[in-house]
Structures are given as structure tokens and as C-alpha cells.
């Protein structure tokens, strides 16, 4: 009996410790800023060992805390390419903006309680996207909202509610409310996928078309979302399949194109649009180009609508260019970057081998770079966010090339020290947290290597670092969640 007791005690302690660790993590999350509290609760609610009632409670609390997020909407870099644009995109890929957090709650709630999922969805504040200036480098991305809208309309209503037309009313409300070019494509696809009767479908398209014809005055968003033609074609095909005329839709889409193409344009529009090849069909179908006017004229237009002539969309003078996408332009950053390159390439231009990196000369250069990085302070002439991106980026690159576990641990600890001391945590939490979040996720995926450091970071004096280190223990992420952050 004594030996049986010896075997049972550790098992019982382990079983008891799991709920305790989960609840202590929830308690930590409650002390964090809203977006991080909500994110942590959503992750914990996804665990199989959490009971359904507890999941519902955590998700409802997460929905409330999402309102405190510093960023209201997800954003994307308007001009792709370069480390700054990539950094911004990864920062928003953390899904820590208020709208995305609420949508994540609704998505998690759907398989648990469809009625509550619907009730939470309709509590999401109406989307109000400010019109962007040409100087702004980030555009809004609210496509996930329309994906979830479609799921709610198709999955969350009872037969009685469907009979009363409640899904149609919900869709109609949002179809009539689009006011930004970035809403055009996702709302069109939501309508195409709507499971509604013909009369209701026609009403949805009419509401959408009416709103579409009045959207203008935001060239930054219009140019970013310029490939709207294929989504409109999907709607046209859906109308035709229901024996309905697409002419009212196409008339308003024509107005949308002309109004936005003749409005004042941004001077860097050519940098936002990728050059695409034409494509055609072997059966003689006219070639369709991705250019918005060409697509309308060749793939969408039908009589009595006139083609869009060049004179109708004569370009106006550019008004400005995107700002805030610069990286490593100051003398100090460039000097540090050169030191980093000297660790990658030999003087002859060859890449250092793993054996070379373990030698005294390379290790000495590594220490010199770490010392230089430690001495690298903010320059008043460089925006704080750019300094943070540049420095954390070099630390991240350095971690990828150091050869030994000891080197990796040293870089990780140095990087975390820099992150924890950065004042960007106040100015932009979503940017500040990205390198820490990526590092902790990397540790979580490497349990036998860097993952051994997680226990140390659970004791960090920084609440968010400690919370997310503990989350990697309680609710570990898979590669699909971590890789987009690296």
C-alpha cells in the first residue's frame, strides 16, 4: 500500500496543479492591458480541459476587455517591401486590435453557443473607418469582420428567426453601411455566400450597390484595394444565376471607379499596385487585365453601359507619399548593421561556416557587436518606433546566425532586456510586443532548446512577458500561430 501511495501522490498533485496554473494565469491576465487580457482569455478558453461554462465566462470577459485595446482595427502596410512594412504587418498579425479580438471571441463562441455568438456579434460597434491621407502608410483591413458576418448569418439563427428574416436584416444593415474601398471586396463575397431567397438577395445587392456608388475621397485605401473587379464579377454571376439583372450594380460600380480615379491621387500609387500579367482564354475570350478600368470594360460592362474612356479617368496631380516606412537610415544604425554583416560574411564574401563561428575570432566579433548594441541609444532625429524596429530587427537576425546554445541564450536575454526597458510599450503596445511575442513563441516551439528559458521569463518583472511566458506553458501555440510573427 505504501508503494501505491508513492505512485499516486505525484499523479494527484499533477492533476490538481493544472487547474491551479490555469486560474493563476487568468488572474495575471486580468491585471494586463485590455488587448493582452482578452488574448490570454481566448487562448485559455480554447483548452480542452476547461469546462464549457468556464469557456463561456472567459470569452464574455475577453469580449468586454477587448474594448480597451489601443488599436481599434487591424491595419496593413500600404506599400509592401522593406523591413518596416514587414514589421507592421507582423505586428497586426498578432490579432490584438479591438475588432479582431471581438471577432475571435465570436468565432470561439459559435461552436459553444450560437445564440450568445450572435448576441456578441451584434454588440460590436459599427465600423467607422477614417478616410486616410496620402501621408499615412497603413491602411485598414476589416475583411475578417465580413467573414464572421457571413458565418453568423448562415449558422447562428434558429429556424424561427430565419423565417422572420433576421439573417437578411443583419446582412442588409451591413451591406448598406460600407463606406470605404477596403470594405468593397469582403462585403461582396459575403453577399455571394449568403443563404437567402431571391428577393432578399436582390435587396442585399441593391443596398450594397447604393452604398458603393457613394464611396470616394480616400485614394490611399482605394489604390490598396484596387482589385475589386473580380469580386464584383462574382456578384454579377450570382445575379445572373438567379435570373436577375446586374445592371444597377454595374452602374454603381462604374460610378465608384470614375469618382475615385478622378479624385486627387497619391503620388506613390505606382508603388502600391503590383504589376500583373494579362491573361486570356484559348476559346477566344477577350484578354482581361487586372487594371480596374480595363477589367470593367472587358469583363464587366454590358449594354447600355458605356465603356470608361481614358478622358473620364484622367489622372490628377499626386498629392503626397506614405511616411513612416523608413528603416536604418541613420549613421549609427548603418554602422551596427555593417558589424552584423561582418558576422555573416567573410572578407572574401563567403558565408562563415558553423565551425568558423565557434572560433575565438568570430566569437570576439559577436561580443563586440553585442557591446555596440548595448551602447546604441535613441537618436532625437530618429522616431522612437523606427529605433525600436531597427534595433529589435538586428537582434532577431542575430539570433538566426549564432552557432551555439550559449550564444542563443545570450542574444535572447539581451533582446528581452531591451524590449522590457523600451518606452514604446506606452506609445504603441502592438508594435512593442511583437519581438517579445515572437521570441516566446519560438521558445514554445523549441522545448528542448530555447524553451528551457521559458521558466526564467515566467519570473520577469514585466507583467506581459511573464504572462505570455506562462501562457506558453498553459496554452502553447502551434507553428501556424507563431511562424507569421517571425
Residues 151-160 pLDDT 10s: 999 999 999 9
> What pLDDT was estimated at residue 273?
61
Q: Quick one: pLDDT band at residue 353, thresholds 50, 70, 90?
A: very high
> What pLDDT was estimated at residue 1?
43
Q: pLDDT (tens digit, 9 = 90+) per residue, 403-443? A: 999 999 999 999 999 999 999 999 999 999 999 999 999 99
> What pLDDT was estimated at residue 458?
96
Residue 133 contacts residue 323 (beta carbons within 8 Å)? no
Distance between CA atoms of residues 447 and 389, nearest Å: 27
> What pLDDT was estimated at residue 18?
64
Cis peptide before 304 (omega within 30 of 0): yes
> What pLDDT was estimated at residue 226?
82
Distance between CA atoms of residues 315 and 402, nearest Å: 51
Mean pLDDT for 32-61 is 97
Mean pLDDT for 36-53 is 97
* Predicted confidence (pLDDT) at residue 12 exceeds the cutoff of 70: no
Distance between CA atoms of residues 360 and 418, nearest Å: 26
* Predicted confidence (pLDDT) at residue 363 exceeds the cutoff of 90: yes
Residue 372 contacts residue 339 (beta carbons within 8 Å)? yes
Window from 10-14, 348-352, 459-463 with minimum mean pLDDT: 10-14
* Predicted confidence (pLDDT) at residue 17 exceeds the cutoff of 80: no
Distance between CA atoms of residues 330 and 126, nearest Å: 42
Q: pLDDT (tens digit, 9 = 90+) per residue, 91-105? A: 999 999 999 999 999
* Predicted confidence (pLDDT) at residue 274 exceeds the cutoff of 80: no
Mean pLDDT for 340-346 is 96
Residue 239 contacts residue 251 (beta carbons within 8 Å)? no
Distance between CA atoms of residues 396 and 416, nearest Å: 11
Mean pLDDT for 394-401 is 95
Distance between CA atoms of residues 36 and 113, nearest Å: 24
* Predicted confidence (pLDDT) at residue 286 exceeds the cutoff of 50: no
> What pLDDT was estimated at residue 365?
95
pTM of the predicted protein model: 0.91
Share of the chain above pLDDT 70, in %: 93
Distance between CA atoms of residues 156 and 120, nearest Å: 11
> What pLDDT was estimated at residue 80?
84
Residue 423 contacts residue 391 (beta carbons within 8 Å)? no
Mean pLDDT for 220-237 is 94
Q: Quick one: pLDDT band at residue 310, thresholds 50, 70, 90?
A: confident
* Predicted confidence (pLDDT) at residue 478 exceeds the cutoff of 50: yes
Cell triple for 169: 436584416
> What pLDDT was estimated at residue 8?
43
> What pLDDT was estimated at residue 318?
74
Window from 8-17, 281-290, 311-320, 399-408 with minimum mean pLDDT: 281-290
* Predicted confidence (pLDDT) at residue 15 exceeds the cutoff of 80: no
- The alpha carbon torsion through 303, 304, 309, 312 (nearest 10 deg) reads -140
**Boundaries of every domain in the chain:** 126-313, 331-485
Q: Quick one: pLDDT band at residue 284, thresholds 50, 70, 90?
A: very low
Q: Quick one: pLDDT band at residue 268, thresholds 50, 70, 90?
A: confident
Amino acid at each position: 500500500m505504501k508503494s501505491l501511495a508513492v505512485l499516486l501522490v505525484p499523479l494527484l498533485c499533477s492533476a490538481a496543479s493544472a487547474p491551479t496554473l490555469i486560474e493563476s494565469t487568468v488572474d495575471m491576465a486580468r491585471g494586463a492591458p485590455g488587448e493582452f487580457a482578452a488574448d490570454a482569455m481566448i487562448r485559455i478558453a480554447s483548452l480542452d480541459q476547461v469546462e464549457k461554462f468556464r469557456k463561456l465566462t472567459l470569452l464574455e470577459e475577453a469580449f468586454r476587455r477587448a474594448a480597451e485595446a489601443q488599436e481599434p482595427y487591424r491595419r496593413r502596410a500600404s506599400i509592401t517591401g522593406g523591413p518596416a512594412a514587414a514589421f507592421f504587418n507582423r505586428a497586426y498579425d498578432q490579432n490584438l486590435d479591438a475588432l479582431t479580438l471581438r471577432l475571435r471571441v465570436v468565432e470561439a463562441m459559435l461552436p459553444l453557443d450560437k445564440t450568445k455568438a450572435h448576441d456578441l456579434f451584434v454588440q460590436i460597434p459599427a465600423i467607422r473607418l477614417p478616410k486616410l491621407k496620402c501621408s499615412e502608410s497603413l491602411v485598414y483591413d476589416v475583411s475578417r469582420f465580413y467573414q464572421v458576418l457571413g458565418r453568423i448569418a448562415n449558422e447562428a439563427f434558429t429556424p424561427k428567426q430565419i423565417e422572420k428574416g433576421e439573417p437578411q436584416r443583419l446582412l442588409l444593415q451591413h451591406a448598406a453601411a460600407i463606406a470605404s474601398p477596403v470594405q468593397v471586396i469582403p462585403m461582396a463575397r459575403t453577399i455571394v455566400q449568403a443563404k437567402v431567397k431571391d428577393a432578399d438577395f436582390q435587396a442585399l445587392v441593391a443596398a450594397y450597390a447604393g452604398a458603393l456608388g457613394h464611396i470616394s475621397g480616400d485614394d490611399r485605401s482605394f489604390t490598396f484595394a484596387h482589385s475589386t473587379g473580380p469580386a464584383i464579377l462574382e456578384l454579377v454571376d450570382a445575379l445572373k444565376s438567379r435570373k436577375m439583372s446586374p445592371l444597377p450594380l454595374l452602374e454603381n460600380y462604374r460610378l465608384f471607379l470614375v469618382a475615385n480615379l478622378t479624385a486627387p491621387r497619391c503620388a506613390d500609387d505606382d508603388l502600391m499596385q503590383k504589376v500583373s500579367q494579362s491573361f486570356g482564354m484559348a476559346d477566344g475570350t477577350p484578354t482581361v487585365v487586372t487594371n480596374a478600368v480595363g477589367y470593367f470594360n472587358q469583363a464587366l460592362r454590358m449594354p447600355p453601359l458605356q465603356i470608361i474612356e481614358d478622358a473620364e479617368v484622367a489622372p490628377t496631380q499626386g498629392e503626397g507619399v506614405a511616411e513612416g516606412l523608413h528603416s536604418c537610415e541613420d549613421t549609427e544604425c548603418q554602422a551596427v548593421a555593417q558589424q552584423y554583416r561582418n558576422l555573416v560574411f567573410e572578407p572574401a564574401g563567403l558565408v562563415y561556416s558553423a565551425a568558423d563561428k565557434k572560433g575565438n575570432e568570430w566569437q570576439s566579433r559577436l561580443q563586440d557587436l553585442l557591446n555596440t548594441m548595448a551602447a546604441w541609444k535613441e537618436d532625437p532625429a530618429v522616431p522612437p518606433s523606427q529605433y525600436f524596429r531597427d534595433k529589435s530587427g538586428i537582434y532577431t537576425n542575430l539570433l538566426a546566425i549564432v552557432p551555439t546554445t550559449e550564444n542563443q541564450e545570450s542574444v535572447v536575454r539581451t533582446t528581452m532586456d531591451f524590449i522590457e526597458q523600451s518606452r514604446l510599450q506606452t506609445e504603441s503596445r502592438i508594435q512593442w510586443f511583437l519581438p517579445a511575442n515572437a521570441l516566446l513563441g519560438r521558445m514554445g516551439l523549441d522545448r528542448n532548446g530555447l524553451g528551457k528559458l521559458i521558466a526564467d521569463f515566467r519570473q520577469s518583472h514585466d507583467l506581459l512577458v511573464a504572462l505570455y511566458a506562462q501562457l506558453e506553458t498553459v496554452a502553447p501555440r502551434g507553428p501556424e500561430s507563431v511562424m507569421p510573427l517571425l
